[in-house]
A and B are shown apart, each in its own frame.
Chain A
Amino acid sequence: MTPALSIQNVAKTFSTAQGDVRALDHVSIDIRAGEFVSVIGPSGCGKSTLMNIVGGLVDDYEGEVHLDGALVRGCQKQIGVVFQEESTFPWRTAIDNVAFPMEAAGLPREARMARARELLELVGLNGFENRFPSELSGGMRQRIAIARTLAFQPRILLMDEPFAALDEQTRLLLGDKVLQIQQELNQTTLLITHNIAEAVQLSDRVLIMSFRPGRIKRVIDIDLPRPRSSKLMGGEKFGQYVAAIWEDLREEASKGLQDMERVRAGA
């Protein structure tokens, strides 16, 4: 069966004043329809580069990205991106934020409002349609961003550390929300994260990346029953997965830390 998203031998080198830096080195990932895959790695492993390539925000790279078997390059409507940063428009209400892409696509007002209302309900924000982002919490704003991305039912949902700016408890609860949405829509998802527990809680598969140059170091299948929730965290198996991932990640993370300290010392 053709994978929904296939990343084939993707590589990227940045030229800097200090010479060329190989950010990504021949990364290949296949994601089946309905699958939830996390990419985890230390700072500087190129995971943001990977996300920019798949999201279409970076055009000049080696290798290929295929969507349902077709070669794609650049931004695709079929790949919805949720960014790490605050990305809701402060001058739009919650519902108008969600309607944003539909407005750009020329959907009539009634149709896009009805769809936006559905999506807000999906992320549990019914009743907040007419609130402005400044009146909502960080977690709620990120749910608006997720709802906005889901407007056109993208084939792939690509999330770049969407909960990074949130506190731990909000993050866990939001993880539950994502699990529920994933369950409801059978949404194929690629999550970029540096949070081990989050990766285990949400994913079918976790890909561990090495420090520069970024490569897929190891793949861990998360064999935990669905539907899941954050209650999983108490289980023995959950702990074993976290430990196994850390085992691999530890070495890479300390390389990253050493590199950062070396840069600081040099500067």
Chain B
Amino acid sequence: MAAVEQIGGRAAAPRAPFWTVTRLRVAAVLVIFALWEVAGASGLFYRGVIPSSALVAKAFAGLLGSADFWFHAGVTGFEVLVAFAIGGLAGAAFGLLLGVNRYTGAVLEPFLHYLAPTPKIVFLPILLILFGVGVGSKISLGAISCFFPMALSVAAGVRQVNPVFLRVSRTFNLTRAQTVRMVYVPALVPPLASGLRIGLGVAIVGCLMSEIKLSRMGLGFSAMEYYRVFDIPSMLAVLIFIFLCAALGNMAIDRFVRLPGPQDRVRRAR
């Protein structure tokens, strides 16, 4: 009884309303599909630019069955993962350095702030010279893209660790290592997760963009090839595949890089 009162108003309502969140979500997807079909059939657009979803689905199934597609997907997947790992680790390390050391932070952070939103694709010519036209230039562009949001969120996270938590640790005589493990690490999980999410997004963008610009393999290249021969359903299928992979990556980050909270107990109770 008391427990229910304490969570205050968050107890389940007696009857679920018709427009629950889940139903609305399903409805939103259906509406988008319908609009797509209507737009395609309307004749307002150049023939074939908006193929019916059945055609796209068929192309998608075709892609999944082709060894060629999986080769390109493998190349891009490899590039993104390596770029994400390098950029993420370097960004997190650099962010820690900036956050912990006030002077490095004061000196370097303005550069970081203004470089971060600058499109990294401008580095591509240099990277092509440095790392060649193969996966090297793609990985390096992805890693550079990922580095900035990671560094900025981790640096901000370190500085925003609640100072009272550090005082509590001092009064309980925690060692430096214990303070890092029991206070800093958990306090840094939320900024780390948001850095990872943005970092993954821009790493994918960096790799794909450089594939589109100059490449003979990868999903970016593959999508451009379909565009060139005007196989729009297959091109869309590639894009949908990329979109799904990115969404899955973000879901994985949400699922694994987070702190325990009330939602865990709710899940366990069910």
Contact = CB atoms under 8 A, between A and B. Distances in A.
Interface string B183-194: 100100100000
Interface string A93-137: 100000011011100000000000000000000011011101111
Given A55-B171, A100-B182, A101-B172, A130 B265 contact: yes
A45 interface: no
Contact of A75 (B7, B165, B171, B178): B171
Interface string A148-189: 010000000000000000000000000000000000000000
Nearest to B175: A104
A182 B259 CA distance: 35
Contacts of A131: 6, 262
B3 to A, nearest CB: 6
Nearest to B3: A127
A104 B164 contact: no
Given A91-B186, A104-B182, A135 B6 contact: yes
A152 B228 CA distance: 73
Contacts of A130: 265
A87 interface: yes
B260 interface: yes
- Residue among B167, B172, B183 with the highest chain A CB neighbour number at 10 A: B172
A214 B145 CA distance: 55
Give chain B's interface residue range (CB within 8 Å of chain A). Answer: 20 to 34
B6 A85 contact: no
- Residue among A79, A86, A100, A137 with the highest chain B CB neighbour number at 10 A: A100
Give chain A's interface residue range (CB within 8 Å of chain B). Answer: 20 to 34
B106 interface: no
Contact of A89 (B2, B167, B186): B186
A132 B7 CA distance: 11
Given A80-B171, A89-B186, A136 B6 contact: yes
Query: Chain B binding site: helix, strand, loop or mixed by DSSP?
Result: helix
A75 B170 contact: yes
A85 B172 CA distance: 17
A86 B164 contact: yes
A132 B261 contact: yes
A219 interface: no
Contacts, number: 71
A165 to B, nearest CB: 12
Contacts of B55: none
B203 to A, nearest CB: 27
A174 to B, nearest CB: 15
Interface in B140-171: 162, 164-165, 167-171
A67 to B, nearest CB: 14
Contact of A91 (B3, B167, B171, B261): B261
Contact of B167 (A57, A86, A93): A57
Contacts of B41: none
A61 interface: no
Given A134-B261, A135-B7, A137-B6, A103 B182 contact: yes
A218 interface: no
A79 B173 CA distance: 11
A128 B3 contact: yes
Contact of B164 (A79, A83, A91): A83
A92 B185 CA distance: 13
A77 interface: yes
Contacts of A83: 164, 167-168
Contacts of A91: 186, 189, 259-261
A56 interface: yes
B39 interface: no
Contacts of B28: none
Interface of A: 55-57, 75, 77, 79-81, 83, 85-87, 89-93, 100-101, 103-105, 127-128, 130-132, 134-137, 140, 149
10 contacts: A57-B171, A77-B173, A85-B162, A89-B165, A89-B186, A91-B259, A100-B172, A100-B182, A128-B3, A136-B6
